[in-house]
Structures are given as structure tokens and as C-alpha cells.
Amino acid sequence: MFSLPYSAGRALARPEVPMVVDIPAYETFIPAALRARLLADAEPVAAVPGLSVAKGLRARFPHIESDEALALVCEVYWATKDALSAVLDTRISDRRFFDAVTLGLVTENAERPYDSAAYATAIGALDAQGRVVVGPLPRVGQPSLKVAVPTFMQGEQVTLFGPPDTPRMSINAMNAFHRARPDEPPIVAALAEASGQVPRWGADDEDSKTPIMENFLKACENLIGCFDGTIDFHDSARGRSYRLADTRRALPIKRVPGLALPDGSHLLHGQPLPLHLFDLVMHVWHNRTRPEALVIYFPKLENEEEAAYLRTLIETTEALVAARDSAYVVGSVRVLVVFENPRAIFRIQEVAAALGPHFLGGSLGWHDFLASTARLFRHDPRYRIPVKADPNIVINNIRESHRILVRDLQDLGALKLGGMYGVLPDDSVPGSFEVSMVGFIRDVVTQLRRGLDGFWIAHPDFVRLAIALVEAWRRHERDPQDPSLQALVAALVPDPVELKPLWAFVVGDDVPGLATDDPRYLRGVLAADVDTSPVIANDDPEEVRYNVFQALQYLADWLTGNGCVALPATLKNIRGEHIFVRIMDDLATTERSRWELWAEIHHGRVSVETFERILAEEIAFLKGGTDHSEKARRGQARRPQIRWEGAAAHWYPVAAALLRSLVLSAEPPEFVTESSLVFTFPCVRAAADPMSAARALGWRG
């Protein structure tokens, strides 16, 4: 039996559900009745007193869920739980403070133009302890932290993002450099080969996958195989075998879940363990001999206080790993922070300082950035989130935050990455590849022009294109007369009508931004200065319909067990034609859709009746009925991706109930997963009526 602190090691004669929870913020995700059921269904771990694990997991994953690994997780939890609980409680009180200040400014702002310097917000307001809850802090002198980038992380940061929970997807991600499209222009191969670069793979255990514990354990298993080179897979249905390439393999960088999500499959004395802690500690333990495996993406950190907790978690984990394995090199865990929160973007150097030697750099995930900003400003009736249908959000609305990211990380010598380009071509549609390439080139050039080291992409097909584009851009930076960039752009977008304005964009200047001393600057950083979208109004019925259509399909797919799906959409080409493409949606894109819908309904710009009518029409359309959209009336057919059939048909009623609750509740949950996590557990998933089962266990959706 492994030695644990006395409080962890006391034996339980029978499973009991504690009256007081260690981390109160987790109660909204896993209410008491659900905790009791999960504990009753779990199996005790004899070697780790007080720990119960969901039935069957240890039998299916004996190497991952070993006694020693589980004891390590529990010991880390006991050492860090109070610090985690404190920062999550502070999050809640900070939300209340910002909401109260925002509500207090509504009358004061009523006669002020939204785009005026006089328009007041809660940015910079001090709470009762004198803390700036949202906004920059005064800085004196230069930062003392200097980041040492390991050799294996140096170079361009072209990063494919996707889940690692199946061997086939993992191998495809690892081999992405070698995946050439059938129509790949020769210049792509020449530039990609000459670059000498290998892609990164954001092996995503967060927004790209439904948080079902079996997915996390499969991901852990697959990543071990990716790092040690042993992973392979035979697809008997397709008669095809998959193995790792011998050269230019991608470098996996695991993204763990954020602080807010509990793990209901591992209960210590009836307490759900933090999911990020379980995932991080398991990954470090099983990959402790491979420093290149110990770079971690960490999402949704909000400020330096939360970063200090993360440092405590990392250093506790490393100390306990070293105590078990003297060969482990303490300090190997390095963190790439996803600065996707309106609080974090103002505190980049403070977050870096709090993480100290573990900090490696950061990226800007803009879907979550916009969604969390919308939540922050939810009580401001004049706030509008940039519409989802706007193809120029990164160019026009993320410029100030990009510049802060580059400025603050450059001072430290840290890695600085942009965000996701999620538009994919529909290869069955003429012109789809070209219109998606126009957006891709504009997006990538914008991020490189702003000084970023790389960016994220949503599909392996884009990896070689991205590496070639970065190589051509670097040549153009060194010598504007080098022909590579122009030749590549022309090869990817051969239509001269499309090419002319695109090339003018590529060699032109960035869009102008606000001066840092402009009174509107801080709102501009958060893209919280948009009055009316130039694309479509937030309350336009077609924008409402688009958000409902996409969110319904995503939630249904999430509930079936997938976390990312390429949903159909259209983009206008230069001739004004609507061309079918696919847009990779994950939980972040659905978060921004539901907050946009919530704000329009809550502030009276869209009636509940209009929302309910559109929701009913979209449900009928997904079932195979009439398309009531304006696009259909103009002869532009829409294509459902997640059809109302098979497993999705079982989950669509739940998806509709979730969406209705998320956008109509006066006090909506902070995260979609607060309402949806209950549907990831076997006791609910196996029920004939999942909603009734969930309600019986305390779900209030």
C-alpha cells in the first residue's frame, strides 16, 4: 500500500459522500446526488485508501491507471487542493464584482455613443482589496525573467490542433508533414522541404474532445506511443495499416483541461479530483524520461494568481515524481499559456513571472477570447460580440491583443503564437479550395506580419501549405525581391480576379489600430468596441439562425462523444458567389455562439418567441424538413453535417434542451460544461432517457 498523508490515507468502510466539498466551485458541475451515484458505481482502489475509480477503467488501462500513478495523483491533490479552491472562489467573486460595476454604469452610459472616449466600463476598476480585477497593472523597469527555449522547441511554430484519443488520428497528426493534397503545387513541396521545419501537434485534451474519461486515458496511451515511436494501428475495415513516418514527425504538445473542470471518474473520499491535475500528473509520470514530452499547453488561465497556483501544481508534481524516480530532471515541465481570456491578455508578463522557469510562451485562442469577453460584458446592453460570420475578425478585431502578446513575450524571449484558422475546403465543390486559401493566406500573413512565431491550423491537409507559406514569408522578409512568396500565392490562388486583391493585401500594411493612450484602447484590446458589425447585425434573424444551426449540430456531436466537427458554411468569393466550405467547430466556437445569442435575447434585441421559432425550424430542418432560412429562399442550399439519425438522433433532444437553457437562463452557466458534464458519465449515457436520468441526479438544465 502506498504511503499517503493521514487525511488521505484513512480507510473508508463504505463509500460516503462528504457534506462539505474540498472545491465548492465543482458543485455546479457535479451536484451532490450525482457525486453519490458516481461513488456508488465506482470501484475502490485497495492500494490507495479512499480512492474510487469508475468501473472498468483500471481493467481497460492497467498501465495508465497503475497503483503508483494513482497514488501520485492523490498526493499531488492533497498538497494543492486548497490553493486551487482559493483561486476558483476568487474567480467567482471577481465575476460578481465586474457584473456589479457594469450594471452600475448602464444609466451613466445611456446617452453616450458606444464608440466615444467617454463610454465607461469596469476595466481598471478596483475591488475592495484594491485589486485591478480586469485590466493592466503598472509596470516599473524591465522584466527579470528571460525564457530559455529548448532546442527541440526552436524554429517556426506551425501547430496542427486535434485530439489524440485514437491511434489513427494520432498517427495522421504525427505524419502530417508527409500528407500532400493530390493537387498540391510543386512549389509547396519545394518550400516545405527547404524549410527544414517540423510541425507541432497540439494534442488536445480540452476543447477538441468530449471529456469522457476513457478518451483521456486513450489519449495518454497514444501519446506515450507517439513519443516512444511504438504506436501503430491496423484498420481492418479499410484494410489499411498506419505507422509513424521515419522522418519529420510532428512534435506533440499536450493541452490539458482548464482549472474549472472536475473529474467525476476518480473520487478521493467522495471528492472529484480536478481534471487538469489528473491529466497533467498522469502525463508527466508516464513521460517522465522524455523532456520533449513535458511541454504543456495550459488553457483559460486568467491572471497571475492562477498562474502561481499552476506553478505550485507543477513543482509539487515534479518533486513527488523525483522522489519516486531519482533520474527525473526537475524543471523539465514547461508551459505554453493559451491567453484566451480578457483578463489574461493584460497580464502576460505577470503570468510569465508567476510561472517562472516553467514559462515557455503563449498563444492567443481567439474564439474563447471573444466568448469570455462576451461573458464579462454580458450586463452591458451596448456590447456586441464580433459576429461569427465575419471572415476578418483576426485582421480587424484581434490586432491590439496580438500586438500586446508580441510585445510582452518578445521582451522575455518567449515563444509567441497566434490562433486557429478553421476554414476548410469542401473538395466536392468547385472554388471551395481557392476561397478557403484566400482566407488562409490573409490570416497567416496577418499573424506573421504582427511578429508571431506561428499559429494553429485545424486539419492535416494544411500543414505543408502552412510550412511553405511561412518559409516563403521569411524569404520575403529577408529579401523583398525574392519571388517565392508571390509564386506560392499565385499557385494556391490562380484565379487572377482573386489573386490581384489578395497579393495587394499580402504586400500591404496591417490595418491601423488604436494608440495605447487612446481612452478606447483597453476596450479595443478586447474587441469590445464594435457597435454594429459591417457583415451582419447580431440580432439579424439569419445571424441568430446561423448560431442556432451550428451550435445545435456541435452540441449533438459533442454529446455523442466527439469534440470537434467540420460544419458546413459558405464564404463569398471575390465575385460575390456563395461557396460551400467547412468550418472546424470545437467547444470554444459554441461558447461564443451561445453568448452572442444570450446577449441578444437578454437585452431585448431578439425576442424569446423569435428564438424559439428559429430553434423549432432548425430542428425540423435537421430532421429532413423544410429549410426556412433566407439563404434557402435565395436558392443557396444549406447542408447539415450532423444528421438527425443514429447516435445523434438520441442526443439531439438533449442538445436542443441544453442550447435553450444556455441562451434563455437569466443566470447562464460560466461554461457550457457546467450544464453538459453530467451527460459524459455512464450512469446517464446508458439511460434510455438521458435528460430524465440527469434530472434525477441534480441536473437543472
> What CATH superfamily classification does 541-667 receive?
Malate synthase, domain III (1.20.1220.12)
At 368, the amino acid letter reads: D
pLDDT at 11: 43
**424: phi then psi, degrees, rounded to nearest 5:** -120, 150
- Compute the chain's Rg from CA coordinates: 25
Q: Which residue has the cell 460575390?
A: 576
Beta strand 334-338 with 295-298 is parallel
Check residue 511 and report its DSSP letter.
P
Name the segment(s) of the chain with CATH classification 3.20.20.360: 151-507
- Please state the pTM of the whole predicted model: 0.96
Domain 151-507 class, CATH top level: alpha beta
Closest by alpha carbon to 99, among 642, 602, 543? 602
Residue partners of 83: CB distance under 8 A and separation at least 6? 309, 312, 313
C-alpha cell at 671: 461554461
At 63, the amino acid letter reads: H
Check residue 677 and report its DSSP letter.
G
Specify the long-range contacts of residues 607-614, CB closer than 8 Å, at least 24 apart. Answer: 608/664, 610/541, 610/544, 611/544, 611/548, 611/663, 611/664, 612/660, 614/541, 614/544, 614/545, 614/548
pLDDT at 4: 54
Beta strand 51-54 with 42-44 is antiparallel
In DSSP terms, which residues pair with 35 in a beta bridge?
Answer: none
Q: Are 468 and 187 in contact (CB under 8 A)?
A: yes
The Cα diameter of the chain in Å comes to 77
Give the integer Cα–Cα distance in Å for 174 and 198: 10
Beta strand 423-425 with 359-363 is unpaired
pLDDT at 15: 54
Give the integer Cα–Cα distance in Å for 33 and 461: 46
Closest by alpha carbon to 471, among 189, 250, 154, 172? 189
pLDDT at 635: 81
Q: Which helix (H) or strand (E) holds 494?
A: none
The rounded Cα 5 to chain-centroid distance in angstroms is 35
Report DSSP letters for 459-487, one per residue. SGGGHHHHHHHHHHHHHHHH-TT-SHHHH
Specify the long-range contacts of residues 103-106, CB closer than 8 Å, at least 24 apart. Answer: 103/379, 105/380, 106/379, 106/380, 106/381
Give the integer Cα–Cα distance in Å for 255 and 645: 32
Check residue 607 and report its DSSP letter.
-
Tell me the Ramachandran region of residue 269: left when phi exceeds 0, alpha when psi lies from -120 to 50, beta otherwise.
left
Name the segment(s) of the chain with CATH classification 1.20.1220.12: 541-667
Q: Where are the alpha helices (DSSP H) in 130-166?
A: none
User: Which residues in the chain show pLDDT less than 50?
Assistant: 1, 6-14
CB atoms within 10 A of CB 570: 21
Closest by alpha carbon to 84, among 407, 309, 287, 301? 309
Residue partners of 116: CB distance under 8 A and separation at least 6? 520
Give the integer Cα–Cα distance in Å for 474 and 195: 10
At 417, the amino acid letter reads: L
Give the integer Cα–Cα distance in Å for 359 and 352: 6
The torsion of the CA quartet 87, 93, 98, 104, rounded to 10 degrees, works out to -170
